[in-house]
Amino acid sequence: MGLTLEDIARQAGVSRSTVSRVVNGQPNVKENVRKRVQKVIQATGYHPNAAARMLVSQRSWTIGLVIPRTVNYFFRDPFFNYLTEGIAQACNQNNYTLAFFLIGNKEDEEKTFPRVSRRGLLDGIILQSGQLGDPLFDRLVASNIPLVIAGRPFHAEGVSYIDVDNVSAAVMAVNHLIGLGYQRIGAISGPFNNIVTQDRRDGYIKALVNANMPIEEALISEGDYTEQGGYHAMQRLLPQKPRAVFAFSDVMAVGAIRAVRDAGLRVPEDVAFIGFDDLPMDSIQSYQLTTIRQPVIQFGMKAVEMLIDLVQNGEKPARRLIMGTELIIRSTCGASLKK
């Protein structure tokens, strides 16, 4: 016979109702008591009956992660892998089930939206979004289901979201290159209808303006946040003879570095690079890429914590969390050559 709430209550030295409140994530439990009960639950391997838990709490204990990308794109961009890892970790820690939805086109959206927006199936949704005019964003906001946007949305009024300060991070990246004495600093951006792209582009331009350096549109080449996109964007940029390049993602930086080397040039002696993300990828480490580190796994975990807060305590007022970034100096920027 399996463990019961009474067994856990007896071992933790609390009442059955206290254990029930802890199991169902309800408030009005002292933190030291909550931790004591959770310690007993972990030590005994107790698993509450899912159906009974749903009946008592009137919650599904399931969080939906909705990513408006095709399957192929999702698995090519490691950013989504690490974001999902953080979200899954936090769901496990908080006894939630994670339901995962990839929406690659309008047909996918029409099939999936009724499922994710229907009350009772999911307690809340994390939406990774940032495309201008994304209809899925508007539909989910209108559905009134607890919602956290992973990435600042175009229309943030009354919406809870988590992000990094992409403008300030881009300024930090370009300032580093300027500080090393580079004059012709190019940029490999993402698609221009993407808010991350717009923010990082704004930061790139802001840093150049602050340094009284000219803004040359020819030095900005559009990629698509893939390695191959970075490669082709760098090929288009090479005739402009940039001395340094700020790539809006590490993945694109890797592709761009390949393009430079295929052209018979050296990194960083001929073209220096700085990327963005600092994902733990073998290719990033082998290139010794200077980059801006954003805490992607922690980003996902914080998104879950924010969503649980919305579920438990109400959706108003909207929550905002801006996480910090860090400059990681390695060899591709040529810092060691400047000493």
pLDDT digits (tens, 9 = 90+) for 46-92: 766 554 554 444 567 899 999 888 888 888 888 999 999 999 999 99
The CATH code of the domain at 5-57 is: 1.10.260.40
Please tell me the predicted confidence (pLDDT) of residue 47.
67
Name every residue whose Cβ is closer than 8 Å to that of residue 92 and which is 6 or more positions away in sequence.
none
pLDDT at 142: 85
- All CATH 1.10.260.40 domain ranges of the chain, comma separated, are 5-57
Any idea which residue has 């580190």 for tokens? 293
Return residue ranges of the chain for CATH 3.40.50.2300: 62-163+296-322, 166-294+327-338
In the chain, what is the greatest distance between 2 CA atoms, to the nearest angstrom? 75
Its CATH class, for the domain covering 62-163+296-322, is alpha beta
pLDDT value at residue 51: 46
Q: Does domain 166-294+327-338 have CATH number 3.40.50.300?
A: no
Q: Which residues of the chain have pLDDT under 50?
A: 1, 51, 54-57
pTM here is 0.81
